Structure 1
Amino acid sequence: MWIYRLCVWSVLTGILLSIVHHPATALLQYSASELFRLRLYLSVPPPVSLHLHPDIALKPRRRYIHRGSRRNFNINDTNSIKSIWSRSRRPPRNTYRTVSHNALAHPARSAKPTIRNGTSSVNFGLLNIRSLTGKGQLIQDLLSDRKLDFLCLTETWQQPNDFVSLNDSTPPEFVYVCQPRNSGRGGGLAIIHRKQWKVLPLSAQLFHSFEYTAIQLPGSSPTIICTVYRPPKPNKDFLNDFTALLTHFSVLTPNMIIVGDFNIHMDNDNNLLSRDFTSCLDSFGLLDP
């Protein structure tokens, strides 16, 4: 029995001596503070002894910076993460486009946009806007700079039941009357006027050769204001239709103001349409004396 105990004791003694004289280099020990420093300072190369264990890897980790509040976020309740707070406010966004007044054409010297009656005067304007989308501030500047009472617009390209662009183009002291094209693209008419002018919408039969919208200034001698757009495509019915419209208006009142884009070269006396159109206007007394 004593021989067995002696053998066991000899084996245990040999194991302890081997551990003391030949320490295992593969066993590494780290304190909690050392592991914490390794986690926060990833830019520092890891200890050489870590290469002895290829299974151990520290994956890169981004530092988190909270930019949205003044609260402090703590790690282990020992170190706080500083919040970054901007002291300057972001400038307000400009929702309007920069208006280039160079794009506006000046009226001819012979044009008479002002109508005087006694001591009062009314300023008229006409513009082929070719889509009102994104041009609201330009229209408002035009009304203010020219001190217009009535601004007639052609080719608004307004869709039925869509009033966003017109609302953006109308200052608070103005209102509008509009006539979008019922089908297809393009076309569309509008009259923007000051609220002080109490007008009545005026309707007549529809014509396929041109578009129009009309209003009437009531009074002892009513005045009709009509905006017309004639597409450039030739239409043999235009003169007959336009004559019918003027005939209807002349029955209501002799005072008419007809403006618009007729796409007719009035400066070309050799053009048959120009001559016939001039004769039509002259027969209703709409030409300057």
Structure 2
Amino acid sequence: MSNPNLHPLSQSSLSPTHHKILKLALFNTRSLNNKALVLHEFITDNNLDFLFITETWHKHLDYFSLNQATPPGYTYIDKPRLTSRGGGVALVHKTEFKISTISTSPTESFEHITLKFLGPSPLVFAVIYRPAKFNPSFFSDFSDFVTQLPPISPFTLLLGDFNFHLDNTNCKHASEFLDLLDCLNFTQHVNFPAHTHGHTLD
């Protein structure tokens, strides 16, 4: 079964003369606990290379649901929310890919894992979750975070749930966020509804 939310990404593999189409997907699970087996099946049915997950709601040292969601031949990198319920981000990926984590300055207004996909043209991934309650420091935090990435690699892909209705031109925060992306030389690729109420949040 095809999925309209899957979009291929062309990226160099370990050989400079060979290219591979990477298959990526992103889900806001609002608790991985009752969806782990569904995600396991989704990964295998679509032969995904990477599954990015926000709002895992898993706790520190609680790997049961992540293990359930991870098919053979895959592994995961996770970052649970430590101070309260909810939140949490993770990446499930094929073990054939060499992924390393990147240390960046801590942020209070959003959660993230930042990773580097190793190869002749390294690609930086960041999976991000911004809670729905707006924090006035988000824009400055996000700007500071993004400006740390170009020295690592000129190729950066930001994925996540930013909880802005980017399709709503009357939303002040959404407009500010899109303006900030433009100033930072980023392109918003998601141009279709990614929310149950028809909004674009990612």
TM superposition score category, shorter chain reference: 0.7 to 0.9
Does the alignment pair 1:226 with 2:126? yes
* Residue of structure 2 in register with 1:79 after alignment: none
What are the within-5 Å matches in structure 2 for residues 111-260 of structure 1? 113-117=7-11, 119-260=19-160
Between 1 and 2, higher relative CO (CA 8 Å, sep ≥ 6) is seen in 2
Can you list the C-alpha shifts for 1:114-164, whole angstroms capped at 9, x where unaligned?
Answer: 111353110110001111113222111110122210000000001011111
* Residue of structure 1 in register with 2:187 after alignment: 287
Ranges of 4+ aligned residues in structure 1 off by more than 2 Å: none
- Which segments of 5 or more consecutive residues in structure 2 lack a partner in the other structure? 12-17, 190-202
* Residue of structure 1 in register with 2:175 after alignment: 275
* Residue of structure 2 in register with 1:265 after alignment: 165
Q: Contact 2:31 / 2:58 at 8 angstroms: preserved in 1?
A: yes
Work out the CA distance in 1 between the residues paired with 2:156 and 2:47: 22
Bigger radius of gyration: 1
| Shift in Å, 1:185 | 0.2
Q: Contact 2:56 / 2:90 at 8 angstroms: preserved in 1?
A: yes
Work out the CA distance in 2 between the residues paired with 1:107 and 1:170: 22
Structure number with higher strand proportion? 2
SS at match of 2:104: coil
Q: What's the TM-score once normalised by structure 1's chain length?
A: 0.60
SS at match of 1:251: coil
Work out the CA distance in 2 between the residues paired with 1:203 and 1:123: 25
Q: Contact 2:25 / 2:48 at 8 angstroms: preserved in 1?
A: yes
Can you list the C-alpha shifts for 1:5-30, whole angstroms capped at 9, x where unaligned?
Answer: xxxxxxxxxxxxxxxxxxxxxxxxxx
What are the within-5 Å matches in structure 2 for residues 35-54 of structure 1? none
| Shift in Å, 1:234 | 1.2
Can you list the C-alpha shifts for 1:57-81, whole angstroms capped at 9, x where unaligned?
Answer: xxxxxxxxxxxxxxxxxxxxxxxxx
Q: Which amino acid aligns with 2:24?
A: F
| Shift in Å, 1:269 | 1.2
| Shift in Å, 1:276 | 1.2
* Residue of structure 1 in register with 2:4 after alignment: 107
- Which segments of 5 or more consecutive residues in structure 1 lack a partner in the other structure? 1-100
Q: What's the TM-score once normalised by structure 2's chain length?
A: 0.85
Q: Which amino acid aligns with 1:205?
A: S
| Shift in Å, 1:230 | 0.4
Can you list the C-alpha shifts for 1:216-238, whole angstroms capped at 9, x where unaligned?
Answer: 01233211111000000011100
Work out the CA distance in 2 between the residues paired with 1:209 and 1:187: 12
| Shift in Å, 1:287 | 0.8
Work out the CA distance in 2 between the residues paired with 1:230 and 1:288: 16
SS at match of 2:143: helix
- Percentage of matched positions with identical amino acids: 34
Work out the CA distance in 2 between the residues paired with 1:267 and 1:280: 16
What are the within-5 Å matches in structure 2 for residues 76-95 of structure 1? none
Work out the CA distance in 2 between the residues paired with 1:262 and 1:177: 20
* Residue of structure 2 in register with 1:44 after alignment: none
SS at match of 1:158: coil
Tell me the C-alpha RMSD between the 2 structures: 1.9
| Shift in Å, 1:288 | 5.1
How many residues are paired up? 183
Can you list the C-alpha shifts for 1:235-264, whole angstroms capped at 9, x where unaligned?
Answer: 110010001110001221110110100100
